Structure 1
Amino acid sequence: MMNGVAAGAREATGPRLRPGFPGRLLALGHALALFGLLLAGAVLLALLAAPVILAALGLGQFLKYQLNHGLAFDGQDARDLFALLLGLACCRLVLPAALLATRRLAMLTRRLSARWCGVAIAAAYAPKPVPATAGSRHLGYQQRMSWLLNDVSTWRDTAWLVVNLVVGWVLLLAPVMMVGFGVITFLVPGSAAVPGMHGVSRWATPPAFPGNTPTVLLAIGVALVALGVATGPVALRGYGGLARLVLTPSREAELALRVEQLAQTRRETLDTGAAELRRIERDLHDGAQARLVAMGLTLDAAGRLIDTDPAAARALLYEARDASARALAELRDLVRGIHPPVLADRGLADAIRALALDSPLRVQVTGPLDGRLPAPVESAGYFAVSELLANVAKHSGAGAAEVDLRHSSGSLRITVSDDGAGGANPSRGTGLQGVARRVAAFDGVLVVSSPAGGPTVINLEVPCKLS
């Protein structure tokens, strides 16, 4: 989640398909659902091709008629010109929406491939550009088309529509058709000879071949149904492999996107660091520095009065002592805001427990870490949790929260949840965006789940090693 930038997903091992007979039947249902996506892709492919073909045919016919009949304008010219203008209008109105819909369909295919087929597919899309018009939230037609057509992934998604329409349906429908063919052609006619089931013979005629006895029909039907059910998961995995073959971005595209992401996180980290330095400078100037200047003036006045009015000088010295104590407290608070001593001494888990004790909410911290993390990661995790707990206390209306810490598979995972009203949206405020930028500097991600009515669950994941 990086200010709307489409981040490239890392390829990971997908979940295994559900074993057993129920899982094989479920695979047939998944195949039918994916076939529905295939039909939607066919519609999108028609929407992509029709405006271009219409405009090209209209232009071709118009030019051909002009070359053959001179510059005279008649009814045929009007029809060709109308087809050309209609094609151009459709290109302007339909093409951008169809290309974006194709991208969403491809992303949905990637998610379902990982969930249903057990095949994870990476994605690498070019980041959405900033609108050229100041203050506008939407891209213009030329800027949108340039962004979509110059992205190699757009052409890869379009190629998937073609491959899916030509080859994908075979993998999806083969097991389903075996089950349906076995039931309708063999099982139902074979059951017509069973006592009490003669009524089925009115709409299911047994196939004509030598030896088509009910027993043979039932045996063939059971074999076809069993074969279709057994090959359902295999066909699904083959379909996922076909989708990965077409939709997986090239190594160059992944590297280009990675460079763009690193450049963006570097810019954001530099901006955040500069803002933090300005805050520290302002706090020192307005707080501790002002108190130290005032303390110096007080001590100077006490030095002038110590011979003539010892009592007044003593009062000024007491005042200077109190000012030095307040300045020291402010300096300690400032140092704690830069890098809390408990974080350096005890580690991330104990530092977050200290945060929980200072929070006005009931905060439970679970999942101790069996070791220390790199100091920059501990600092990022600490301040991220601090910001999230502050958001919970200010905006959620929650009475309790929970922070869960884990380190597994080479990553620090932090989950912050609450029992509040939900509705947290990173795009409506800077708090969650700041947390996302903080963890993005370490190649981390932030995922927010906050439906209306709650609960809110925020997951942080930062790749790092545990010492």
Structure 2
Amino acid sequence: MTNHTEPALRKSWPIWLPATWRQIGADLAYILPGFFVSLASFTALTTLFTLGIGTLIIWVGLPVLVACLATARWFANVNRGALRRWAGDIPPVHYRVPHKYTVGGMFKNLADPQLWKDFIHGFLVTFPLRTATFCIAISVWAAALGGLTQWFWMRFLPQDNTTLAELIGLDTYLRVSPETAESWFGLAYGVLLLLLLPFITHLLAAADAATTRALLTNETAALRARGEELAASRAQVVSEEASTLRKIERDLHDGPQQRLIRMQMDVEAAQRRLATDPEAARELMDGALEQSREALAELRQLSRGIAPPLLADRGLRTAVESLAAKSPVPVAVTGNLDQGARIAEGAENAAYFVVSEALANIAKHSGATRAAVTVDAGHAGLLLEVTDDGVGGAHVGKGHGLAGLVDRLAGVDGSLEVTSPDGGPTTLRASIPLGT
């Protein structure tokens, strides 16, 4: 499914506007907690990395290094989550598929470049960067507040204290007392820092965000991996459809075609005997009628897996309700997709076959007494949910039905989730994006 994140706050600079203070708050909420996350990641990764390198010679260090990179990935997920809250949508990230925790598998896991980028970010980059941004942010805030309130708290300083205004000769230049010159000077730089505060905090947050984006996202690799996955799944779908077409062609030749030829021969024989032997002609016509019924039954069986005209003419909701009406198990159809509402053709076909295969499995294997189908369409995509109160135990790896649905959904960038504990109930959820 597609995730939507609230967009980042619109940048505002005049300090007297409420939007500016909301921006400052969002920037500080990103900067200040990040320092403590970087402190924790630096401490944990330093410990694990040095322990792993030090014990690598006796092989103990290999799983320790794997744990180090796994910890780096966990901290990277925390940092990406913070960046997503501050900036809105961020580029995707791609990791290689993890291998088993054998010696060879652990060495292969260590070869994932994104894990090392996570490690570099958490071990070398964020701690010094966020220490600096944390100190600068706190210092600017303290200096701005201190300058604006200096007229009040400076009276509590020792009487023999030499002020900064006095050291630079500001009191002599303005011809006022050192205390007055210091109050005016503090007020001046306090106001200046307050006016610069939104620029400074946003610049610090942007510098941290740029570093996080550069090291913790890899859009090119993620898109390449996704493209390879889609190409493989669509090639699998094309191969399966070609195999299905060949099977249909073979079944048509061996089944209905032979019966139709037999029926034609019986009808022709009946025509020849109609005048001379009506009883024999009647028997031949009865045989031809039986052949036509069997041919029709075989054609209906073969048409399963081919989108019906009802789907093309009246849409997904009507086609799903037709499937539910034909099911031997009572099925309730709900959802916000109205009758006659149309979506992308590929999404419609994939959704129809998901429901068709799910209801067929319920009728054959589940032992259910009732089922329900929900069809919801929104901006994020189409969500299908098929549930039943059967015995459970369904799995995408069993048989070819559900496994075939995974490939079919992958061809339209969709996904399938099956929850079916032993004893039931079974819930099948399919998600199909409508914007692709």
| Change in CA separation of 1:458 and 1:27 when aligned onto 2, cut-off 3 Å | farther
User: Paired residue for 1:264, among 216, 223, 232?
Assistant: 232
Report if aligned partners of 1:439, 1:462 keep a CA contact under 8 Å in 2. no
Following TM superposition, by how much is the alpha carbon of 1:142 offset from its aligned partner in structure 2, in angstroms?
1.5
2:239 is the counterpart of 1:239: no
Corresponding letter in the other structure for 1:167: L
SS in 1 for 2:50: helix
User: Paired residue for 2:299, among 326, 331, 335?
Assistant: 331
- Paired position in structure 2 for 1:461: 433
SS in 2 for 1:268: helix
Whole-angstrom distance in 1 between the partners of 2:311 and 2:28: 53
| Change in CA separation of 1:258 and 1:401 when aligned onto 2, cut-off 3 Å | closer
| Change in CA separation of 1:319 and 1:348 when aligned onto 2, cut-off 3 Å | same
2:302 is the counterpart of 1:340: no
Report if aligned partners of 2:92, 2:222 keep a CA contact under 8 Å in 1. no
Whole-angstrom distance in 2 between the partners of 1:155 and 1:255: 20
| Change in CA separation of 1:316 and 1:427 when aligned onto 2, cut-off 3 Å | closer
Tell which structure's C-alpha radius of gyration is larger: 2
Matches within 5 A, 1:19-418: 20=19, 25=25, 28-51=28-51, 53-54=53-54, 88-118=58-88, 120-128=90-98, 138-149=100-111, 151-161=112-122, 162-171=124-133, 174-175=136-137, 210=163, 211=179, 235-249=204-218, 251=220, 253=221, 256-258=224-226, 260-273=228-241, 276-277=244-245, 280=248, 288=256, 311=279, 314-315=282-283, 317-335=285-303, 337-348=305-316, 350-352=318-320, 354-355=322-323, 358=326, 360-367=330-337, 373=344, 375-387=345-357, 400-406=372-378, 413-417=381-385
Corresponding letter in the other structure for 2:37: L
Report if aligned partners of 2:30, 2:83 keep a CA contact under 8 Å in 1. no
Report if aligned partners of 1:361, 1:400 keep a CA contact under 8 Å in 2. yes
Following TM superposition, by how much is the alpha carbon of 1:163 offset from its aligned partner in structure 2, in angstroms?
1.4
Whole-angstrom distance in 2 between the partners of 1:169 and 1:451: 49
Gaps of 5+ in 2: 11-17, 164-178
Q: How many residues align?
A: 398
Following TM superposition, by how much is the alpha carbon of 1:226 offset from its aligned partner in structure 2, in angstroms?
9.5
Report if aligned partners of 2:347, 2:432 keep a CA contact under 8 Å in 1. no
Identity of aligned residues (%): 30
CA offsets per residue over residues 74-93 of structure 1, 9 Å max, x none? Answer: xxxxxxxxxxxx75333222
2:18 is the counterpart of 1:15: no
Following TM superposition, by how much is the alpha carbon of 1:318 offset from its aligned partner in structure 2, in angstroms?
2.0
Report if aligned partners of 1:367, 1:404 keep a CA contact under 8 Å in 2. yes
Whole-angstrom distance in 1 between the partners of 2:229 and 2:213: 23
Whole-angstrom distance in 2 between the partners of 1:53 and 1:240: 30
SS in 2 for 1:265: helix
SS in 2 for 1:334: helix
Whole-angstrom distance in 2 between the partners of 1:364 and 1:336: 24
SS in 2 for 1:122: coil
Whole-angstrom distance in 2 between the partners of 1:347 and 1:229: 53
SS in 2 for 1:121: coil
Whole-angstrom distance in 2 between the partners of 1:424 and 1:169: 53
Following TM superposition, by how much is the alpha carbon of 1:120 offset from its aligned partner in structure 2, in angstroms?
0.4
Whole-angstrom distance in 2 between the partners of 1:49 and 1:227: 41
SS in 2 for 1:97: helix
Whole-angstrom distance in 1 between the partners of 2:95 and 2:333: 39
Which sits farther off after the overlay, 255-264 or 108-117? 255-264
- Paired position in structure 2 for 1:437: 407
SS in 1 for 2:92: coil
**TM-score (norm. length: structure 1):** 0.62
Whole-angstrom distance in 1 between the partners of 2:24 and 2:107: 43
SS in 1 for 2:60: helix
Corresponding letter in the other structure for 1:439: L
Report if aligned partners of 2:83, 2:209 keep a CA contact under 8 Å in 1. yes
Whole-angstrom distance in 2 between the partners of 1:301 and 1:220: 111
Corresponding letter in the other structure for 1:337: G
**TM-score (norm. length: structure 2):** 0.65
